[in-house]
Structure 1
């Protein structure tokens, strides 16, 4: 399927490893011009060495001024943005009563407010051309219990924002959608660490919790991202699509 993404300017936050790195590669394979941002300059440079010609923008994306600097640098280098992938994220804390309020705040800054801010900045630029695509990477746990509560809360907010912002921006020709991955296995992820620590427990988890009978791959998430960003998905607006092998228990 020809997705017509060649020459599109793409920014992937959290693009130096895992799902973000796979998404960056998928867009490169489609002929897009790709830039990635993450906290570690070393990881960004390593990814550029592996993937080839990509722009890298290091910075702590929980800080609003850093996000603005990254975005201005992107525009200075490329002149516009066509596709934004809000992928940066992470989890912290534990049970609600054992988690300091500051950790809830940190999770919101990383998983939610960073996406809101980048979306606002990108939408202002996309309005000038009358088209664009914004994709927010959330989680199936943004719809149901599972994982750490700080993570769930912030991803739930992101799913809600995706729909609300989509309804607002489609009038300007900008499509906003989301992807909710389930349990994805990759070398730098938490599932890999858990697998190494207790393989028997993780095999039982997969058997009981994932109907497809295996973990998902980063490439399977990336494939959905490039489709959603393309003109082939022109009538998909405000959706957050589960990519989870049937893991989610929700039916909406």
Structure 2
């Protein structure tokens, strides 16, 4: 299937490792001119050394001013934007009663507000092109309890935002969709850390909770993102697709 992405431009937040890195490389393999932004300078430097054609931008994406600066630099470097992947995210806190309001705010800033702001900036540019694709990486735990409450809440907000923005901007030829990964195993992720700490417990979790019988791969998430970024998914608007090997309990 020809995706016709060659020559497009894409910004991937949190693109220096894990799922974000797989997404960036998946788009790059289709001829997309990719820029990534992240906080960690070491990971960014490694990406730049290995893939010199990838543009890298170091920033704290919890900071509104730094998000604006990253977007400005990307446009200065690439001229426009065709694809935005809001992937940056993280988990903090513990139980609701043991988690401070500040921790809830921090989670919303990274997992939700960053995506909202980058999307607003991208829409203004995409309107001039008459097309564009925005893809928000949420989680199956945005639909059901499973992760930490701060994470669940912010990812749930992102799923709702995805549908709202999609309906608002599709008349301009801009499609907004989401991907909700389940348990994805990659070297820099929490599942790998948990597996290293207690392999028996985590292997039992996989057996009990993932019908497909294994963890997902970052590249399997990237494949769906690449499809959603392409014209082959033109009639997919406002959807958030589970990529989870059947792990989710929800049926919508």
TM-score by length of 2: 0.99
User: Does 2:216 correspond to 1:216?
Assistant: yes
Whether the 8 Å CA contact 1:11–1:81 is kept in 2: the answer is yes
User: Does 2:152 correspond to 1:152?
Assistant: yes
| Structure 1: distance between partners of 2:218 and 2:132 | 24
User: CA offsets per residue over residues 159-198 of structure 1, 9 Å max, x none?
Assistant: 0000000000001100000000000000000000000000
Where does 1:68-107 land on structure 2 (aligned, <5 Å)?
A: 68-107=68-107
| Structure 1: distance between partners of 2:203 and 2:220 | 20
User: CA offsets per residue over residues 90-122 of structure 1, 9 Å max, x none?
Assistant: 000000000011000000000000000000000
TM-score by length of 1: 0.99
| Structure 2: distance between partners of 1:85 and 1:158 | 13
User: Does 2:205 correspond to 1:205?
Assistant: yes
| Residue of structure 1 equivalent to 2:26 | 26
CA shift, 1:52, in A, is: 3.7
Where does 1:35-74 land on structure 2 (aligned, <5 Å)?
A: 35-74=35-74
| Residue of structure 1 equivalent to 2:189 | 189
User: CA offsets per residue over residues 191-248 of structure 1, 9 Å max, x none?
Assistant: 0000000000000000000000000000000000000000000000000000000000
| Structure 2: distance between partners of 1:218 and 1:194 | 17
User: What is the number of residues matched between the two proteins?
Assistant: 252
CA shift, 1:50, in A, is: 2.6
| Residue of structure 2 equivalent to 1:229 | 229
Pairwise CA RMSD: 0.6
CA shift, 1:33, in A, is: 0.2
| Residue of structure 2 equivalent to 1:251 | 251
The ranges of structure 1 where at least 4 consecutive aligned residues each deviate by more than 6 angstroms after the TM superposition are none
| Residue of structure 2 equivalent to 1:6 | 6
Q: Which ranges of structure 2 fall in alignment gaps of 5 or more residues?
A: none
| Structure 1: distance between partners of 2:53 and 2:45 | 11
Q: Which ranges of structure 1 fall in alignment gaps of 5 or more residues?
A: none
